[in-house]
Every structure is written in C-alpha cells, then in structure tokens.
Amino acid sequence: MITLCGFPLSNYYNKVKLALLEKGIPFTEERIETHSHDEAVLSCSPLGKVPFIKTPHGALCESQVIVDYLEAAYPDTPRLIPADAYQAAKVRELITYVELHLELVARELYAEAYFGGQVSDGTKKRVARVLPENIRAFKRLAKFGPYLAGDTFTMADCAGWVSLPLVAMATKTIYGEDLLAAGGVDWKPYAKLIGERPHAVTVAADRKTDLDRSMAATRAKG
C-alpha cells in the first residue's frame, strides 16, 4: 500500500493525489507539513518538502519522480502518458513548462498573493519581466485540445490543473491582471473541464476542507 504524505493545500501534493486516483491505485494519506525537520520526514524527503510517498520498497520524493514511478510500477492501471516515446516526452515537456517556467516563477509572488506577506518590488518587477515570455512559450506547446497534450487526459493535466489557476490568481492579485489570460492562455474553460472529472472533484473538496481548517486555526490564534 502506498502512503501519500503532505497536505491538501499543496498543489504538488494534489498533482500526485489526482494521478493516484485517476490510475485507481489504493493509497492512504498522512498529513505532513512542509519543511519539517523531523528525522522521520528527512529520511524520506531530505529537504523536508512535500509531497513524498512511502512504498513497500522505500520512500520517494519530488512529485514528478513519484508520478513517473506510479506509471512504471502500475502498468495495468489507466495510462497517464502515451506509450509512444516521443509523445511521452511531449507530455513531460509540458509538465516542465508548467512547473519550472510558469509555477516556479510565479511562486515568488505567493507570499504576498496568498499568505499575507510582502514581496519586494524587485521581485515583482523580475517576475513581471520573465513570466510573460514564458507564458508565450508555453502557449506554443499547449494544445488545449481539450487537454494540455491533445485529446487525452495525461499526467500533464495532473500538473496543469493544480498549478495554472495559482499562477493566474497570483498575478491578478499582485499586478491587477491575470498574466496567463493576458498572454492568450484561456485557462478557465480548461480548469473547469478537468475540475468536473470525479477524481478532481474529490481533490478539490479535500483541498477546500483543509483550507477551511487552516483558516479556522488562524482565526483561533488571532
């Protein structure tokens, strides 16, 4: 049995969770906060990051490593990546663009956009300079046909669905403009399409429950 470790507010946790559900792989969940210094966590995820999974063979961290493992270890479950080597690489290419060139760049805004902190003007200017170029590049690759890689749901959609809205909303909050939409990426119909999948509904509901819990805890402290 696989144990998914992390928490439902994490987009990368939800990427893995959606892949597990779509593939029909039995798993349990264990709540672990990010950047834990607990030795039991560090032995599984040396940077203390989530998500990570525990398997009968040992632990694995980093979301893309995990979903690639799931695809290889459970070949008889629904495929989330094409059998053709080139098409499989195109799916992974999209994931790299979503996570490295869009989400990781926009993540520098999250402290202010989502968590009540502050981001320096220099950081805001840098993101505003880099992100539009990256969005234009992503637009060249993404098919939205209706899924990111074409007419079939893939692991690229596990990544895209959990991260594209975060990029859009963070830029809207910081700059007063959704940079994804401004760059010609019509992400809302796509997010709605994926969000209507039964397993995505489950992931979203669990995320909302965790968000409500987190907000209640914050109010209790205040």
Q: Where along the chain do its domains lie?
A: 2-73, 85-221
How far apart (Å, rounded) are the C-alpha atoms in residues 117 and 184? 29
Please tell me the distance from the alpha carbon of residue 115 to that of residue 131, in angstroms, as a whole number.
21
Confidence band for 222, pLDDT divided at 50, 70 and 90: low
Task: Please list, in sequence order, all residues whose beta carbon lies within 8 angstroms of the beta carbon of residue 213, skipping any fewer than 6 positions away.
Answer: none
131-157: pLDDT as tens digits: 999 999 999 999 999 999 999 999 999
Tell me what the mean pLDDT of segment 18-45 comes to: 97
Q: What is the pLDDT of residues 143-193, one digit of tens each?
A: 999 999 999 999 999 999 999 999 999 999 999 999 999 999 999 999 999
Q: What is the dihedral of CA 152, 92, 50, 56, to 10 degrees?
A: 80
Domain 2-73 superfamily per CATH: Glutaredoxin (3.40.30.10)
CB 22 within 8 A of CB 80: yes
CATH class for the region spanning 85-221: mainly alpha
